[in-house]
Amino acid sequence: MKIMKRRTFLKGGLAALALAGAGSTGLSLLGRTGYIGTAQAGGFSAPLPVPPLLDNLDKSGQSARFAMTVQPGTVEFFPGKPTETLGYNGNFLGPTIRVRNGRRFTINVDNTLDQVTTLHWHGMHLPARWDGGPRQPIPAGTRWTPDFTIKQQAATLWYHPHAMGLTGEQVYHGLAGLVYIEDEYSDRLEIPKTYGVDDIPLVIQDRRFLDNGQFAYTRNMHDVMNGVIGNYMLVNGVMQPVLEVPGGMVRLRLLNGSNSSIYRIGFADQRVFDVIASDGGFLEAPVPMNSIVLSAGERAEILVDFAAHGQDTSLIVNQMKGSTFEALRISVKGPGTITTMPKELRKLDRIPESEASGIREFIMETMSMGGGRMGMGMMGKRLTINGKKMDINRIDEQVKLGSTEIWEITNRSAMMMNMPHSMHLHDVQFQVLSRNGATPPPHEQGRKDTVLIMPGETVRIISRFLDYTGVYMYHCHLLEHEDDGMMGQFEVIS
Ligand code: C2O
Ligand code: CU
Ligand code: CU
């Protein structure tokens, strides 16, 4: 499959999911050699690994006490060519951290790398000093011990490093993991919740490699602008894995953990599934779809009915800029325990527009002609938010504690640079009010922390800024854009 045009991708739906066996044409754009060819490795033999649940060191269960080591490792994605990787408590990716709302949460994070890292809790509502963004570096060889109380509803969040200029590279090498928040509500819901059996995390990421087996992560201008788009697809760190599921309802927790790819995800037989949760928790009711678009950093929980459909299938992942991959083969074995779909999930605390004290405007610009002379200004003004690049010594926005605000975010793409962006806010879960003035689709009407903004599009979001003061980030979650400075800081002030 050739590079997908935007229109095909967004409107294509089912057609866009046509199955392609292997390979990418994305790299041919670079006109470079030195990358491993286009054939897929793995051959659907390895079982899908499920990240282990991180042990709670507090055996009483009264609090959540964890320990994690950031470490270098190697993985043989290609036999005989070990790839140098990074991982949490392992070679690649990290364990799943499961915590309950209301619990005190502490974790020792030991950085054994020879470079700085951070550990950011993506999607978490938390005190700024424990956010793990660029303001909380963990220098090489040191320990960081965040300590706060979980204060949000059940959701699938994730964690990843966020050091200035290093996020993309460190995530690419393997630093990412999931955080599950559970509460009385998720306990009660009649949905699959047996970890790794009928409640399965899927961390979806693409990668590309050099001939010598190392990750081909570069920061040349092409890669910064377009993002590093891979021609191999990994699910939970493995190429072409297979998964056995029970013949009932199966809950898949999808994370687009790629650096800069936007994925349309569905199944080979185009079966309908139900979206039950977005970034920040459950939707009001299941939303039937047969494919879902997730930009880098977004999550969705879906329920797939393997009793109704019975037959085996594959998870298909279509890159907006790149190829279509058979990412995971799924086979059904034995009966499932949950066989019905709940009619209702969770009442959404809808934030009324009238509650907002004001509107803040954000322009995400791929390339700006603004300012001085053409040409000169251009190169200095690529990948900006409101014309600025990230400066850790500058506070870009101040928001009053306890206030509600509408943020109006426009992707203004100039010239030939039709670049989608993925806007992410730290600390809060927002709601999407509109896309170009229209009501967002039902699966985008829940709690979100990351939202795709297509070229020319204006997305309005609304959020409350509660509980904590301090400095947080907002940025494009295409990590190459973020590292290049497409990021700003908002301070919540009392
Ligand atoms: Cu997932 Cu500021 O990042
Ligand atoms: Cu975040
Ligand atoms: Cu971007």
Nearest to 105 by CA among 134, 125, 76: 125
Whether ligand 1 lies within 6 angstroms of the CB of 264 is answered as no
Q: Which atom of ligand 1 is nearest to the CA of 122?
A: 1
Q: Whose CA is nearest to atom 3 of ligand 1?
A: 122
On whether the 199-335 domain is CATH 1.10.260.40, my answer is: no
The CATH T-level fold of domain 353-493 is Immunoglobulin-like (2.60.40)
Whether ligand 1 lies within 6 angstroms of the CB of 448 is answered as no
Distance 159 CA to ligand 2 centre (A): 8
pLDDT at 86 over 60: yes
* pLDDT tens per residue across span 240-296: 999 999 999 999 999 999 999 999 999 999 999 999 999 999 999 999 999 999 999
Distance 252 CA to ligand 1 centre (A): 22
Closest listed ligand to the CA of 422:
3
CB 157 within 8 A of CB 136: no
Distance 196 CA to ligand 2 centre (A): 25
Q: What is the pLDDT of residue 143?
A: 98
Q: Which atom of ligand 1 is nearest to the CA of 482?
A: 2
Q: What is the pLDDT of residue 413?
A: 77
For residue 445, the cross-strand partners are none
Q: What is the pLDDT of residue 343?
A: 94
Closest listed ligand to the CA of 297:
1
Whether ligand 1 lies within 6 angstroms of the CB of 473 is answered as yes
* pLDDT tens per residue across span 220-251: 999 999 999 999 999 999 999 999 999 999 99
Q: What is the pLDDT of residue 4?
A: 35
Distance 452 CA to ligand 1 centre (A): 14
Q: What is the mean pLDDT of residues 148-159?
A: 98
Question: 199-335 with 353-493: one CATH topology?
Answer: yes
Whether ligand 1 lies within 6 angstroms of the CB of 381 is answered as no
* pLDDT tens per residue across span 458-487: 999 999 999 999 999 999 999 999 999 999
Q: What is the pLDDT of residue 418?
A: 81
Q: Give the C-alpha separation, 180 to 253, whole Å.
A: 10
Q: How confident is the model at residue 321 (pLDDT cuts 50, 70, 90)?
A: confident
Q: Where are the beta strands (DSSP E) in 32-142?
A: 64-78, 81-88, 97-100, 104-111, 120-122
The one-letter amino acid code at 43 reads G
Question: Which is it for the CA torsion 93, 426, 442, 276, positive or negative?
Answer: positive
The better pLDDT of the pair 136, 27 is held by 136
Q: What is the 3-state secondary structure (H, E, C) of 317-342?
A: EEECCCCEEEEEEEEEEEECCCCCCC
Whether ligand 1 lies within 6 angstroms of the CB of 208 is answered as no
Comparing 5-19, 42-56, 130-144, which segment has the lowest mean pLDDT?
A: 5-19
Q: Where are the beta strands (DSSP E) in 257-371?
A: 263-267, 273-278, 281-289, 291-294, 299-305, 313-319, 324-335, 358-367
Q: Which atom of ligand 1 is nearest to the CA of 487?
A: 2
Whether ligand 1 lies within 6 angstroms of the CB of 322 is answered as no
pTM above 0.75, yes or no: yes
Q: What is the mean pLDDT of residues 298-326?
A: 91
* pLDDT tens per residue across span 335-353: 999 999 899 999 999 999 9
The one-letter amino acid code at 259 reads N
Whether ligand 1 lies within 6 angstroms of the CB of 443 is answered as no
Q: Which atom of ligand 1 is nearest to the CA of 158?
A: 1
Q: Whose CA is nearest to atom 1 of ligand 1?
A: 122
For 154, 183, 189, 316, the CA distances from 343, given in Å and listed in that order, are 18, 19, 11, 27
Q: What is the pLDDT of residue 367?
A: 81
Q: How confident is the model at residue 23 (pLDDT cuts 50, 70, 90)?
A: very low
Q: What is the pLDDT of residue 92?
A: 98
For residue 425, the cross-strand partners are 474
Q: Give the C-alpha separation, 405 to 285, whole Å.
A: 26
Look at residue 349 and give its three-state secondary structure.
Answer: coil
Whether ligand 1 lies within 6 angstroms of the CB of 481 is answered as no
* pLDDT tens per residue across span 393-410: 999 999 999 999 999 999
CB 86 within 8 A of CB 70: yes
Whether ligand 1 lies within 6 angstroms of the CB of 329 is answered as no
CA 293 to chain CA centroid, nearest Å = 12
pLDDT at 184 over 50: yes
Whether ligand 1 lies within 6 angstroms of the CB of 120 is answered as yes
Closest listed ligand to the CA of 177:
1
Q: What is the pLDDT of residue 38?
A: 44
User: What are the extents of the domains in the chain?
Assistant: 12-34+42-184, 199-335, 353-493
* pLDDT tens per residue across span 413-452: 765 678 999 999 999 999 999 999 999 999 999 999 999 9
Distance 362 CA to ligand 3 centre (A): 13
155 is written with which tokens?
């959701």
pLDDT at 106 over 70: yes
Q: Give the C-alpha separation, 289 to 345, whole Å.
A: 16
Closest listed ligand to the CA of 448:
2
Closest listed ligand to the CA of 122:
2
Q: What is the pLDDT of residue 35?
A: 42
**CATH class for the domain made up of 12-34+42-184:** mainly beta
Distance 422 CA to ligand 3 centre (A): 6
* pLDDT tens per residue across span 364-391: 998 865 544 444 444 557 899 999 999 9
